[in-house]
Amino acid sequence: MEPDLAFAPAVALAGMVRDRVISPVELVDGYLDRIDRIDPHLNSFVTLDADRARDAARAAEASAGRPGTPAFHGVPIAIKDLHVTAGLRTTFGSKALADFVPDFDEESVRRIRAAGFVILGKTNVPEFGSLPVTEPLLHGPCRNPWDTERTPGGSSGGAAAALAAGLVPVSQGSDGGGSLRIPASNCGVFGLKPARGRVSNAPLFGDRLAGLSTTGVLARHVVDAAALLDVMAGYAPGDPHWAPPPARPFVKESATDPPPLRVGVVTSFPLAPFQREPLAAVESAAGLLTDLGHHVEPFALPVDAGVAEHFKLVWATGIAALPVDRALLEPFNAGLYDRGGTVSAPRLLQAINALQLASRTIVGASLAFDVVVSPTLAEPPLHIGEMRGLDVDATLARAAAYVGVTPVANITGQPSMSLPLGWSVEGLPIGVMVTGRPAGEATLLRLAGQVQRAADWSAARPPGG
């Protein structure tokens, strides 16, 4: 497979299949060959579904170009291993579920299949997605394609690493505290956490984490992210949260420049000092946005330490609520399991209510702007193993210092994205985060499309790409 084809937009590949310029079999075989050659150095995939992918590709080839074929007929994709896939091992990165093979798809996966995508396999995650690095004991660490001694981040670390290395054209992932935007920043790709309720979590998880987590997208090209969001978005019966339907498809928004926007820029955060390189990326991005005609001014997020404590309590109870054997959990999650198990129901409800009250304050203040810009992460990608061997409190403190502002949008439910606009002195990607108004993905995608057209990052490829 030629690298230019491997890194091509998913929507372009879909058009090539539709026009019979390339066959789904060629695409699937090409990406599987790249996985075979490149992924032993990255460990981004933990389960491959090569035989079924080839069968699906052959079936897609037979009907390619016919009227009524779905939009992404025969285009490969990867699914994060926190998401349930029928007939395909789903481990959640844990020894407790090392051999679990579900007999159903969760709603977002069902919609991805219905859109014609061919699932190549499942991507690496930290155990139950609880850490911002992807180093599960079950599967071993996932490595960043830009520097294999560094982490791609987490929890969608495998999804971002596979995408950055050209092993898939687009990746599905999810975000409960930054889990799409963190690896997007570390791997130099675009990551979008949609608004709360935009993508259904049906049928399993509902509101287990008080609405913190949602399924989203990793892509090199904004148009791909918008198109995949169009595929996954929408209410499913019984959803505890839902977002209003968009005025028009998100893919059309990504091709439309926004009007001049009022942009609030965050350059300090009381819970995590930003290092020099992330700040430099934000300053450069603010200059670009000014050049594009937007009005940029400083903004201070109204967040205090109490918000972080309530977030950690909800996170711990989410681990304690898992129907798994505690003895099979990794030490960090076992510690969270124990801690969460001691939280009373009234105390949990108090924490959830406190987060909701904080959300009103944060959203109310940020409504002075169309979007808020900040560093995605407080520092460049960590080294592999940097968070290993710490106790629970030290791990939580290190994670908080690393992820910076990312959990705020999970608390508020606002859509948020990471744009690959910066570089460290060591040549590592640095993301710039842009958070929109509630249910404001259309504005984010318009802005992201405009920025990519002005400063296209898609040609940047890691070593060996």
138: domain CATH number is 3.90.1300.10
Please report whether residue 148 resides in a domain.
yes
DSSP at 119? E
Strands (E), 240-370: 262-265, 295-298
Tell me, what's the pLDDT at 300? 97
Please report whether residue 460 resides in a domain.
no
Please report whether residue 461 resides in a domain.
no
Looking at residue 277, its amino acid is E
Tell me, what's the pLDDT at 207? 64
Q: How many CB atoms lie within 10 A of CB 429?
A: 29
Number of domains making up the chain: 1
Which one, of 177, 186, 196, lies nearest residue 158 by Cα?
186
Overall size of the chain counted in residues: 465
Tell me, what's the pLDDT at 179? 98
Tell me, what's the pLDDT at 465? 74
Looking at residue 204, its amino acid is L
Which member of 108, 179, 254, 424 is catalytic? 179
Please report whether residue 459 resides in a domain.
no
Tell me, what's the pLDDT at 204? 84
Residue reference for tokens 């030490």 = 331
Active-site annotation holds for 155: yes
Q: What is the pTM of this model?
A: 0.98
Write phi, then psi, for 158 (nearest 5 degrees): -65, -40
> For residue 413, is it left (φ>0), alpha (ψ between -120 and 50) or beta?
left
Please report whether residue 62 resides in a domain.
yes
Distance CA 2, CA 23 (A): 14
Please report whether residue 462 resides in a domain.
no
- Segment 387-432, tens digit of pLDDT: 999 999 999 999 999 999 999 999 999 999 999 999 999 999 999 9
Residue range(s) defining the domain that contains residue 297: 3-454
CB 94 within 8 A of CB 128: yes
Which member of 155, 185, 254, 366 is catalytic? 155
**Could you give the dihedral angle defined by the CA atoms of residues 330, 333, 338 and 343, in that order, rounded to the nearest 10 degrees?**
-170
> For residue 110, is it left (φ>0), alpha (ψ between -120 and 50) or beta?
alpha
* DSSP reduced 3-state for 255: coil
Distance CA 45, CA 34 (A): 12
Strands (E), 38-144: 45-48, 76-80, 118-123
- Angle (CA) 373 184 225, round 5°: 85
Tell me, what's the pLDDT at 458? 96
For residue 196, CA distances in Å to 12, 18, 159, 212 come to: 29, 33, 21, 8
Long-range Cβ contacts of 386-391 (<8 Å, 24+ apart): 386/133, 386/151, 387/131, 387/133, 387/135, 388/135, 390/332, 391/335
* Residue segments in the chain with a per-residue pLDDT below the cut of 50: none
Both tokens of 44, joined, read 């981004």
Active-site annotation holds for 171: no
Which member of 23, 80, 193, 200 is catalytic? 80
Please report whether residue 463 resides in a domain.
no
Long-range Cβ contacts of 236-242 (<8 Å, 24+ apart): 236/107, 236/200, 236/202, 236/203, 237/202, 238/202, 238/206, 239/197, 239/200, 239/201, 239/202, 239/206, 240/206, 240/207, 240/211, 241/196, 241/197, 241/207, 241/211, 241/413, 242/197, 242/200
Active-site annotation holds for 418: no
Which one, of 181, 136, 125, lies nearest residue 387 by Cα?
136
